Chains A and B, each alone.
Chain A
């Protein structure tokens, strides 16, 4: 239907599968057919999707570890510089460098930076959010991706014909497919 539309931007094929299992199966098979830029859209995470999508490893734990370590270091640096190096005072005859007293803040800062990096590392770092626009949002059907639909999306390279990809998807059990082309408004 939109084949004759002059190509402007990205092309997507969105295929809806009847169930999560069907989606898993379809996804794997599509990938075997060599589609690289492939993704699924489901209201909730489904076991096995990582495998189906061929996701090797996730980044986030490393980021969080980095954040936590930063927290520990900065906390100790701060307290020791301020109360021991820069301005040591006789406070109730307690030693300037009082080990146990360092623990709470060190821990809290580790948690604070670790936790924040989990959040911002994910949304901003990895997901590149906020991203209010995406071609798929053009499709009315895509709304159900967050409600009760199980979708597979394939970004079709310029050379390839979207219709063929859609056909493949239907052969793999998708009961409905849509093509969306990033067009100029």
Chain B
């Protein structure tokens, strides 16, 4: 508690010093939150309080009273001792706070409309670490890399703190108080109500929040002509449209790969993107254990993604050619017995593109063989036609209801097309009030909309954002809003399960939320989102008979504690069927106007690091190596070697991309396995109005985006400029040099007795001769070890961010990454195999191996790195003098040296993000993975208190906890029943660099592929 408050108070004189007196035993929020908003505290102080100028030009008694009222409220706040809202710790934890012991709170975070359940570790009132909520259907206890980085987003120094208001577009912004904004909205909505809300528009973030839906409904009652438009720069519009074509109504696709034996991903990165990614990763990972039930993954995509890297068969196609593949597949499937229903679709005119017929034929057979147990997944970037065909094939293959489901959308969702309507209205001048809760539409909107120019035409545009950005610069009124971890709200998983979003911390700066701004138009702007939320859910709970007026509070508390609301999952549609004939008719025009042209094709990609640009100011994500290219702090123009050769471009050359009258320049990067005659550029970079980290990082690909073809476009020209740059790249070497750090085999090879790979595996684990009698750990209570299953790792990066967050790992910046000083303890080594045109990829997480015969230890002159009784390779920070000898002698090069003072003068908020259980290392010290020793010790204490041994699976390292595919396991080899013990005995087990005789405690399980014999 006191932590974040004192921290906060440093930044804003007055405000939180008052709050500080509210010093509750647990986390509280105060009703007076509103009136304690910083601006008013400023206003209540000093000779010329803020808003005094307003007095000057409109001497109304009313506004005067507002100021006085607010200031009085502040005085009240000063005396406030009894806050009255509670949130509840997660049930796994004792409710009472023990100083030094963290609490875990369940909450959720919505991205693109759907919420993922989280459990947040909170130290003394500071949220410090994000974990997944195992009770949540889309989390199952794991999270994505982006979720992990929420913590840093919360403590972002560059978040906006001051409401600004232009009295009309074009005038300079002036600081304003929330209360005066409320007044303004109140007055404005009076007027709007009189004309039934004509001219009122809400541009909202895609959302499945019941509360938001309720607000929208009530707003529509008051303003019948008001319109709601949802916008996300990367929305999957094709899906809804395609499903509408296939089933007659806009449905939403859900997947369930638990039983899937053959999976086809049509430009779909289902392991690295989308609301289902964690769930699907978990299910897919489980299906990768070698054996008869091992799944097979086909991927067709223009550029490698985590999904593509795990593929058994990957077909590189330009994004627009996926349609041709889908069509070819339909043709092949229609030939299969029992699938002739697809024949009408086979008759469609074919989109121009050549696809490997043999590949498609084999795939079709495989799908037909596993009908009902296969899945065809189309990606968010694909047009309606592809989604429609996928739906048709899935239903023909009887997958619907098994591996694929279609359901009525729970979220208000929309992208470029949805925005078009609004753009036209504004252009027509029919919009006079625009409320924007969407994420930075000015940056995300296609360039041809010229959205920033348009906004100037709207007399009143209110934007709710966390930081100043391109949109806040264009609107008349900018209201900084609280972070998701600071505010109340609700959300739904893709399957409909409701989660209540509860705040983990008193807002550091602004306390307003989107909900408050929206509710202001109902005159409820000062109620506070907590009240709105509870009122709504109380009504809903009583209405649906879940609770009575009396019992609701208990129910509510149970929801908060668990993080999910039971029995709220929405059933998918049943008895769905496509009519191929009708569909064929509907598709014909779409196929006809599919992307054409013989020039280079540009594809826009969702960035796995900064998403659509909203995380651009997040240092953890910016320094995160891209899962495929390993580039940090930049985006690039990815292209195949052949294309690069034709354009006479090398990696690092800055190229100029022209599309019509628009152009951008960005550095080229040669990406093995990229489709020829195409380039891929990630969105979300090149922010112009943004925090100090985001500014000037990369180039803005959206500047080339055209609403007509927002994802793939032809007719672009690439030309090399004279400039070149050096990427901050963590791994610039592709090849394994025939050293096989990663052992790869096909399922067949692996099952064959005494095959080459089995020999190699045996060779890489059998005991070696040694002159030193190995230390005997069998008498120790524990013998810590780790196992990593390379068949499951998709390289999604979640573990890397989790490790950074858990272990206070510093950020070094692009320049230092460039010269090889990145600090992440856990790195994902990525190797290409085979021809550079079309290689296979393997990913290998590498962190400290905790070798029993550690080469780093005997070279340390000061005993700063030694072995623990339980076999941990311990790094003694306060003894280290920094000779770097240990890292020189580490064959795995997993040690990281603090070359500079990376923690020099952290801002007060930076400090708040640190994990108190882990030392912050100073300059000149070596550091490395510790197997999360702080977690081991916490469990050891608990176990000791309860007088028992630590059970298997009780200790979960940060990387293991977050891994969506469950590729990482940790435990004690002295426990015969432990999972890790079994995995160390697995026939796939081998040691990295075994021949050196380091006897690593981390074992790897070979990467087994399951290729289709017909394609071998």
Task: Map CB proximity to B onto A91-117 as digits: 1 under 8 Å, 0 otherwise.
Answer: 111110000000000000000000000
CB proximity to A under 8 Å, residues B799-858: 851-858
Task: For the complex, give the distance between the alpha carbons of A90 and B853 in Å.
Answer: 10
Closest to B999 in A: A93
Q: Which A residues are in CB contact (< 8 Å) with B775?
A: 90, 93
Asked if B216 CB lies within 8 Å of chain A CBs, one says: no
A93 touches B852 (CB 8 A): yes
Is the C-beta of A70 less than 8 angstroms from some C-beta in chain B?
no
Residue of A nearest to B773 (CB): A95
Q: Which chain A residues lie closer than 8 Å to B858 at the CB level?
A: 91-92, 94
Q: Are A89 and B772 in contact (CB under 8 A)?
A: no
Q: Tell me the count of chain B residues lying within 8 A, CB to CB, of chain A.
A: 19
Within the complex, the shortest CB–CB distance from A28 to chain B, in Å, comes to: 59
Which chain B residue shows the least CB distance to A95? B772
Q: Which of A89, A90, A91, A92 has the most CB of B within 10 A?
A: A92
Whether a CB of chain A sits under 8 angstroms from the CB of B863 is yes
Determine whether B418 belongs to the interface, using a CB cutoff of 8 Å to chain A: no
Asked if B863 and A92 sit within 8 Å, CB to CB, the answer is no
- One digit per residue, 1 when the CB lies within 8 angstroms of any chain B CB and 0 when it does not, for chain A 72-95 equals 000000000000000001111111
Tell me the B847-883 residues at the A interface (CB within 8 Å). 851-858, 860, 863, 866-869
State the CA gap A91–B775 with chains docked (Å). 11
B868 to chain A: which residues have CB within 8 Å? 90
Question: What chain A residues lie within 8 Å of B869 (beta carbons)?
Answer: 90
Does B774 interact with chain A (Cβ within 8 Å)? yes
In contact, B863 and A93 (Cβ under 8 angstroms): no
CB of B265 to closest CB in A, whole Å? 46
Q: Is the CB of B772 within 8 A of A94?
A: yes
**List of A residues within 8 angstroms of B863 by Cβ:** 89, 91
Per DSSP, chain B at the interface is loop
| In the complex, residue of chain B having the shortest beta-carbon distance to the beta carbon of A82 | B863
A92 near B856 with CB under 8 A, answer yes
Binary flags per residue of A60-76, CB closer than 8 Å to B gives 1, else 0: 00000000000000000
- CA–CA, A95 and B774, complex, Å: 10
Give the residues in chain A near B866, CB-CB below 8 Å.
Answer: 89-91
Residues on A with beta carbons closer than 8 Å to the beta carbon of B772: 93-95
- Provide the residues of chain B in CB contact with A95, threshold 8 Å: 772-773
A19 to chain B, nearest CB (A): 59
User: How far, in Å, is B633 (CB) from chain A's closest CB?
Assistant: 37
Most chain B CB neighbours (cut-off 10 Å) among A91, A93, A94: A93
B776 CB to closest chain A CB (Å) equals 11
Name which residue of chain A comes closest to B852, CB basis: A93
- CB-defined interface of B766-777 with A at 8 Å, one 1/0 digit per residue? 000000111100
Task: Select which of B773, B851, B867 is within 8 A of A91 by beta carbon.
Answer: B867
Proximity string of chain B (750-782) to chain A, C-beta cutoff 8 Å, 1 when within and 0 when not: 000000000000000000000011110000000
Q: Which residues of A contact B774 (CB under 8 A)?
A: 93
Cα distance, A91 to B772, chains bound together (Å): 12
In the bound assembly, the distance between CA atoms of A93 and B851 in angstroms comes to 9
**How far is B860's CA from A90's CA once the two chains are assembled, in angstroms?**
13
Chain A min CB distance to B885 (Å) = 12
Nearest Cβ in chain B — how far from A172, in angstroms?
65
* Residues on B with beta carbons closer than 8 Å to the beta carbon of A89: 863, 866-867
State A94–B860 Cα separation when bound (angstroms): 13
Bound: A93/B773 CA distance, A: 8
Complex CA–CA separation, A91 to B859 (angstroms): 9
Contact residues in B for A90 (Cβ distance below 8 Å) = 775, 866-869
CA distance A92 to B856 in the complex (A): 7
Q: How far is the CA of A89 from the CA of B851 in the complex (A)?
A: 15
Q: Which B residues touch A91, using CB under 8 A?
A: 857-858, 860, 863, 866-867
Q: Smallest CB-CB separation from A91: which chain B residue?
A: B857
Give the shortest distance, in Å, between A105 (CB) and chain B (any CB).
Answer: 12
A162 CA to B867 CA, complexed, in Å = 79
A62 to B362 alpha-carbon distance, docked (Å): 92
In Å, the complex CA distance between A90 and B851 comes to: 12
Residues of B close to A93: CB separation below 8 A: 772, 774-775, 852-854, 867, 999
Considering the complex, give the chain A residue whose CB is closest to the CB of B774. A93
**A162: min CB distance to chain B, Å:** 65
- CB proximity of B649 to chain A, nearest CB, Å: 48
A99 to chain B, nearest CB (A): 12
- Closest-by-CB residue of B relative to A101 is B858
Query: Chain B 964-1000 against A: per-residue CB contact (8 Å), 1 yes, 0 no?
Result: 0000000000000000000000000000000000010
Q: How far apart sit A89 and B999, CA to CA, in the bound complex (Å)? A: 18
Rounded to whole angstroms, the CA-CA distance of A91 and B869 in the bound complex is: 11
Nearest-neighbour CB distance to chain A for B383, whole angstroms, equals 59
Residues of A within 8 A of B999 (CB): 93
Instruction: Name the distance in Å between B571's Cβ and chain A's nearest Cβ.
Output: 59
A94 to B997, CA, bound (A): 13
In the bound complex, how far is the Cα of B852 from the Cα of A93, in angstroms?
6
Assembly CA distance A47 to B773 (angstroms): 60
Nearest-CB distance from B418 to chain A (Å)? 62
Complex alpha-carbon distance, A92 and B889, angstroms:
12
Subset of 27 A-B contacts with CB under 8 Å: A89-B863, A89-B866, A90-B866, A90-B869, A91-B857, A91-B858, A91-B860, A91-B863, A91-B866, A91-B867, A92-B851, A92-B855, A92-B856, A92-B857, A92-B858, A92-B867, A93-B774, A93-B775, A93-B852, A93-B854, A93-B867, A93-B999, A94-B772, A94-B857, A94-B858, A95-B772, A95-B773
Top-9 shortest CB links A-B = A92-B857, A90-B867, A92-B858, A93-B853, A92-B854, A89-B866, A91-B857, A94-B858, A91-B858
Other 15 A-B pairs with CB < 8 A, given A91-B867, A92-B855, A95-B772: A89-B863, A89-B866, A90-B775, A90-B867, A90-B868, A91-B857, A91-B863, A92-B851, A92-B854, A92-B856, A92-B867, A93-B774, A94-B772, A94-B857, A95-B773
Chain A residues packing against B (C-beta within 8 Å)? 89-95
